[in-house]
């Protein structure tokens, strides 16, 4: 039995701010349970839903030395879908109203979490063969393991995999502060290890010290080795490219299933989706006080409202789009003030065409996927992206920019050969996006049969976790069978 511990700062159903939570909360279910015991360790945030907090059971406690500090750590446990989750409790660090607050708090918070994960292992009676770390918040785990814990027998056989879900967020802070907080030896704050552009960089630490590095799509794995996509670390990514792998994310096909989705009024499958989705469209239009027009092009967007997601393109052409086209748009998400107020403005100006819900609602999100004709995702960059996979699964045609995982998962429509699963454009340009939207609208209006065939091809794609879980298993095998990349 190979033992794997996922160390993550979020995981569904317990706590979620983004796609990382979906991955950390669904991938563990898809390993071959006869050969893999996969467990997850998370911080025990005070802001976790009361429903989940009530299920946690206290296991043990100990103290963590962090630089000159000595901090309490409690360990709690819960089960979800047959997977064991551990939670590190410390109300000094995890008391905020959201998981991440200010970077100066977060660097200490996640140095603490990383060290507490390693200290917890002997108490859990679960010595993993591999710790699979996710994003900058756990970048120090491989660093601690190979430095402060390097000489300890208990830890000697543990390997690490480090997964990058978004290279933009690196966890950077001043060198003296990080040296003080972490208690790591001075000799590792150098340009070949933790130092980067005059600061200490947690993600860099993870990439330098891990036995293998993964990211969440093949195209993004290539993009991060280039100056355009490398966020300043492309040289490092090239240097580690022998152990850098792109393994695409899957979607939790149990949670996102249009045949059983509890949030949908009318369930559907590949045979009856046209009529059932039309019924969903009508009820969502009614729910959102939009005119109930069956033939209007109904476009959804569910996203964090940040630059990464391409919202500068969207707001740039919004007036032109809404003033000239027969369209209805539903936007759901929160984020940058400038985008939130821009959508509020347009929703007020065009109440029959734009509904903006500045918030987050899982059930509205599911209803958007289950009711819209198309889904817009014009990201500037996209490590993998999950929303386009949800759209495909629900017969909602994705319109995307050709970057990262979007490029790998959406095949552009070819009207001559009747192939493809969506629409895409290459350059980060608002009018190129608008032209693509207009092309999609033209197909929708003038050739509904081709449109429905396009939606059906999308529904027939398989982006479940099955094949990606097998790829992770192969990677785990590879690194457990060879000596650690110990420095």
Is there binding between residue 132 and ligand GLC (CB under 6 A)?
no
Nearer to ligand GLC among residue 165 and residue 204 (C-beta): 165
Is there binding between residue 383 and ligand GLC (CB under 6 A)?
yes
> Which tokens is 113 given?
């979490």
Is there binding between residue 335 and ligand GLC (CB under 6 A)?
no
Binding segment (CB under 6 A) for ligand GLC, from list 76-84, 221-229, 383-391, 415-423: 383-391
Nearer to ligand GLC among residue 18 and residue 232 (C-beta): 18
Binding segment (CB under 6 A) for ligand GLC, from list 13-21, 264-272, 353-361, 470-478: 13-21
- Minimum distance from residue 459 beta carbon to ligand GLC (Å): 20
- Minimum distance from residue 135 beta carbon to ligand GLC (Å): 8
Rounded to 5 degrees, what angle do the CA atoms 438, 441, 443 make? Answer: 115
Nearer to ligand GLC among residue 18 and residue 485 (C-beta): 18
Q: Do the Cβ atoms of 147 and 113 come closer than 8 Å?
A: no
Is there binding between residue 422 and ligand GLC (CB under 6 A)?
no
Is there binding between residue 114 and ligand GLC (CB under 6 A)?
no
How does DSSP assign 48-113, residue by residue? S-HHHHTT-EEEEEEEEEETTEEEEEEEEEEEETTEEEEEEE-TTTS-SSSS---HHHHHHHHHHH
Question: What is the arrangement of strands in the sheet containing 354-357, beginning at the earlier edge strand?
Answer: 354-357, 327-332, 297-302, 374-377, 397-401, 423-425
The continuous run of DSSP H or E covering 117 comes out as: helix 103-124
Is there binding between residue 249 and ligand GLC (CB under 6 A)?
yes
d(CA 279, CA 138): 45
- Minimum distance from residue 104 beta carbon to ligand GLC (Å): 23
d(CA 454, CA 371): 16
Is there binding between residue 378 and ligand GLC (CB under 6 A)?
no
Q: Do the Cβ atoms of 398 and 392 come closer than 8 Å?
A: yes
Q: Which residue is nearest to ligand GLC (CB)?
A: 19
Distance (Å) of CA 93 to CA 45, 110, 130, 429:
9, 9, 26, 42
Helix ranges (DSSP H) in 350-422: 362-371, 387-393, 404-409
Is there binding between residue 252 and ligand GLC (CB under 6 A)?
no
d(CA 274, CA 456): 9
d(CA 203, CA 169): 8
Is there binding between residue 232 and ligand GLC (CB under 6 A)?
no
Is there binding between residue 301 and ligand GLC (CB under 6 A)?
no
Distance (Å) of CA 286 to CA 173, 279, 340, 352, 371:
49, 11, 23, 11, 12
Is there binding between residue 124 and ligand GLC (CB under 6 A)?
no
Is there binding between residue 18 and ligand GLC (CB under 6 A)?
yes
- Minimum distance from residue 440 beta carbon to ligand GLC (Å): 22
Nearer to ligand GLC among residue 149 and residue 465 (C-beta): 465
Is there binding between residue 26 and ligand GLC (CB under 6 A)?
no
- Minimum distance from residue 331 beta carbon to ligand GLC (Å): 18
208-247 per-residue burial string, b: 16 or more CB within 10 A, e: under 16:
bbbbbbbbbbbbbbbbbbeeebbbebbebbeebeebbbbb
Nearer to ligand GLC among residue 160 and residue 303 (C-beta): 303
Is there binding between residue 99 and ligand GLC (CB under 6 A)?
no
Is there binding between residue 229 and ligand GLC (CB under 6 A)?
no
The neighbouring-strand residues paired with 84 are 79
Helix axes 202-209, 103-124, angle to 10 degrees: 40
- Residues in 158-217 at the binding interface with ligand GLC, rule: CB under 6 A: 165-166, 216
DSSP 186: G
Count of residues interacting with ligand GLC (CB under 6 A): 14
Coil, helix or strand for 413? Answer: coil
- Residues in 393-412 at the binding interface with ligand GLC, rule: CB under 6 A: 405
Q: Which of 4, 5, 19, 36 is close enough to bind ligand GLC by CB under 6 A?
A: 19
Q: Whose structure tokens read 């629409």?
A: 423
Q: Which of 7, 20, 124, 301 is close enough to bind ligand GLC by CB under 6 A?
A: 20
d(CA 30, CA 166): 22
d(CA 334, CA 344): 12
Nearer to ligand GLC among residue 310 and residue 383 (C-beta): 383
Binding segment (CB under 6 A) for ligand GLC, from list 1-9, 19-27, 319-327, 342-350: 19-27
Q: Whose structure tokens read 């009747």?
A: 418
Nearer to ligand GLC among residue 249 and residue 424 (C-beta): 249
Is there binding between residue 382 and ligand GLC (CB under 6 A)?
yes
Is there binding between residue 246 and ligand GLC (CB under 6 A)?
no
Binding segment (CB under 6 A) for ligand GLC, from list 14-22, 49-57, 61-69, 260-268: 14-22
Q: Applying CB under 6 A, which residues contact ligand GLC?
A: 18-20, 23, 165-166, 216, 249, 382-386, 405
């Amino acid at each position: 039995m190979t033992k794997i511990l996922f160390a993550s700062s979020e995981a569904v159903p317990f706590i979620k701010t983004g796609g990382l939570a979906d991955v950390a909360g669904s991938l563990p279910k898809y390993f071959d349970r006869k050969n893999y015991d996969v467990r997850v360790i998370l911080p025990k945030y005070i802001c976790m839903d009361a429903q989940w907090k009530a299920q946690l059971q206290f296991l043990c406690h100990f103290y963590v030395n962090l630089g000159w500090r000595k901090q309490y750590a409690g360990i709690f446990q819960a089960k979800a879908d047959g997977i064991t989750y551990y939670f590190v409790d410390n109300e000094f660090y995890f008391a905020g109203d959201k998981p991440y607050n200010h970077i100066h708090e977060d660097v200490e918070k996640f140095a603490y979490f990383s060290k507490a994960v390693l200290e917890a292992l002997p108490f859990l009676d679960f010595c993993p063969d591999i710790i699979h770390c996710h994003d900058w918040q756990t970048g120090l785990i491989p660093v601690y393991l190979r430095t402060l814990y390097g000489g300890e027998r208990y830890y000697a056989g543990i390997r690490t995999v480090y997964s990058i879900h978004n290279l933009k967020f690196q966890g950077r802070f001043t060198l003296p502060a990080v040296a003080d907080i972490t208690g790591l030896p001075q000799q590792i704050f150098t340009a070949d290890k933790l130092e980067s552009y005059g600061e200490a960089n947690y993600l860099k630490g993870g990439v330098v010290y891990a036995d293998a590095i993964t990211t969440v799509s093949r195209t993004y794995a290539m993009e991060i080795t280039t100056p355009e996509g490398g966020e300043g670390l492309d040289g490092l990514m090239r240097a580690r490219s022998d152990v850098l792998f792109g393994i695409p994310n899957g979607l939790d096909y149990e949670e996102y299933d249009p045949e059983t989705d509890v949030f949908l009024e009318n369930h559907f499958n590949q045979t009856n989706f046209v009529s059932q989705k039309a019924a969903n469209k009508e009820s969502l239009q009614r729910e959102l006080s939009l005119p109930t027009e069956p033939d209007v092009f109904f476009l959804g967007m569910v996203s964090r409202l940040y630059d990464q997601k391409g919202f500068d393109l969207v707001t740039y052409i919004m007036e032109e789009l809404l003033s000239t086209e027969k369209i209805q748009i539903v936007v759901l998400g929160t984020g940058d003030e400038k985008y939130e107020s821009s959508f509020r403005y347009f929703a007020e100006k065009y109440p029959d065409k734009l509904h903006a819900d500045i918030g987050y609602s899982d059930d509205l999100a599911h209803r958007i996927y289950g009711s819209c004709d198309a889904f817009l995702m014009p990201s500037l960059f996209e490590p993998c992206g999950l929303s386009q996979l949800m759209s495909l699964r629900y017969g909602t045609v994705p319109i995307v920019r050709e970057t990262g995982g979007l490029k790998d998962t959406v095949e552009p429509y070819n009207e001559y050969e009747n192939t493809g699963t969506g629409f895409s454009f290459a350059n980060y340009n608002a009018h190129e996006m608008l032209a693509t939207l207009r092309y999609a609208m033209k197909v929708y209006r003038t050739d509904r049969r081709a449109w429905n065939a396009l939606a059906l091809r999308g529904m027939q794609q398989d982006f479940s976790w099955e094949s990606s879980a097998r790829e992770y298993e192969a990677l785990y095998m590879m690194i457990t069978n060879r000596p650690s990349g110990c420095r």
